[in-house]
């Protein structure tokens, strides 16, 4: 192991020793301790760089029926939920943490959104967690950014079943996850950890005992959303997920290797093209901004991008 990584270890041990014992409510404790969000704030993944956000908006505009709501699963402080709402989508944010949802509501009130999204507390890994949302919305679309890579394989399976239920016949899911394949130390190093210590947002995540991020790539996608049940309509396994700037004297977002996919459930009786068109005809606020990121269409049954 390179010496610089060996010298990182005492910092990791020091911050790790502060993590609460037991696994209950770690996310809630984490969110309850957040003072500031966005660049320069406490939350590692809450980058205000617009490029990534723009990309998801463009994918919804391309693949989702506008009449259908978007549910932002594991929404945290609601940055993406608000952006969807601002772009004209009926948006609902869901998170397991009461403190995250309280923060999402407070930030939404603070910016005084014209069309405010709603926020709800639910554990996505619980059976039936989204049943009430589904009853209210009918078929809906889903955004998942940076959630599956912090869940166990078992929890991911239940989340996928809940998503399947929420999507119904007409929804699509935009999935964006980090996919660092190297060692944990190399990952931490790529986020600015070094012999002199850890950037504050990273230290906070470790001291709160948040789950260690796991890679989430094609294998994990296939395990969670098996090909026989899910159609991949878009796939980018070289996507970038942004984190807040973490180097001294830098205001550049950190770039984490990631994965973006658009999925929809396979089914025999997909709505006819005319029904789909009727869905598209519902009004939505247009936005002239151009798309970011290239779509690489994937034929049914294929995982690798063409």
Ligand X SMILES: C[S@@+](CC[C@H](N)C(=O)[O-])C[C@H]1O[C@@H](n2cnc3c(N)ncnc32)[C@H](O)[C@@H]1O
Residues that bind ligand X (CB under 6 A): 27, 45-46, 74-76, 79-80, 95-97, 100, 123-125, 145-147, 150
Q: How far apart are CA 142 and CA 160, in angstroms?
A: 11
**Least spacing, CB of residue 125 vs ligand X, in Å:** 4
Residue whose CB is less far from ligand X, 159 or 298: 159
**Are the beta carbons of 91 and 81 closer than 8 angstroms?**
yes
Each as own residue / partner, the long-range contacts of residues 1-7 (CB below 8 Å, 24 or more positions apart, any chain) are: 1/185, 4/189, 4/194, 4/195, 5/185, 5/186, 5/189, 7/195
Q: Which is nearer to ligand X, 187 or 298 (CB)?
A: 187
CA distance 31 to 227: 35
CA dist., res. 116 & res. 86, Å (int) = 8
Cβ at position 151, least distance to ligand X in Å: 6
The CB-of-75 to ligand X minimum distance in angstroms stands at 6
Q: How far is the CB of 91 from ligand X (least distance, A)?
A: 13
Any idea of the CA torsion for 85, 91, 97, 102, to the nearest 10 degrees? Answer: 50
CB of 281 to ligand X, least distance (A): 30
Phi, psi of 3 (to 5 degrees): -55, -40
Give the number of residues written for the chain. Answer: 306
Q: Are 215 and 181 in contact (CB under 8 A)?
A: yes
Cβ-based nearer residue to ligand X, 124 or 260: 124
Comparison of 46 and 139: residue with beta carbon closer to ligand X: 46
Based on the number of CB atoms within 10 Å of its own CB, is 196 exposed (0-12), middle (13-18) or buried (19 or more)?
exposed
Pick 15 or 216: Cβ nearer ligand X: 216
Give 126 or 275: the residue with its C-beta nearer to ligand X: 126
Minimum distance from residue 176 beta carbon to ligand X (Å): 8
């Amino acid at each position: 192991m390179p010496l610089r990584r060996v010298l990182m270890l005492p910092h990791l041990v020091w911050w790790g020793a502060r993590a609460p014992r037991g696994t209950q409510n770690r996310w809630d404790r984490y969110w309850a301790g957040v003072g500031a969000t966005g660049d320069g704030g406490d939350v590692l993944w809450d980058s205000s760089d617009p490029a990534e956000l723009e990309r998801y908006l463009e994918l919804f505009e391309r693949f989702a029926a506008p009449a259908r709501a978007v549910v932002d699963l594991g929404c945290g402080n609601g940055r993406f939920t608000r952006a969807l709402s601002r772009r004209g989508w009926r948006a609902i944010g869901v998170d397991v943490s009461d403190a995250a949802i309280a923060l999402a509501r407070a930030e939404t009130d603070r910016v005084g959104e014209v069309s405010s999204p709603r926020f709800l507390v639910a554990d996505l890994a619980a059976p039936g967690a989204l049943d009430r949302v589904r009853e209210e919305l009918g078929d809906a679309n889903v955004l998942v950014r940076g959630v599956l890579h912090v869940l166990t394989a078992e929890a991911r399976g239940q989340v996928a079943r809940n998503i399947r239920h929420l999507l119904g016949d007409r929804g699509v899911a935009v999935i964006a996850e980090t996919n660092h394949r190297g060692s944990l130390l190399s990952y931490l190093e790529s986020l600015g950890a070094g012999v002199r210590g850890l950037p504050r947002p990273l230290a906070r995540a470790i001291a709160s005992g948040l789950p260690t991020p796991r890679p989430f790539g094609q294998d994990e996608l296939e395990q969670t959303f098996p090909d026989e049940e899910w159609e991949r309509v878009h796939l980018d396994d070289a996507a970038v997920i942004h984190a807040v700037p973490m180097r001294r004297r830098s205001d550049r977002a950190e770039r984490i290797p990631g994965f973006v996919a658009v999925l929809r459930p396979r089914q025999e009786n997909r709505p006819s093209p005319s029904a789909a068109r009727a869905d598209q005809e519902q009004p939505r606020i247009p936005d002239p901004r151009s798309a970011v990121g290239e779509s690489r269409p994937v034929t049914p049954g294929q995982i690798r991008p063409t």
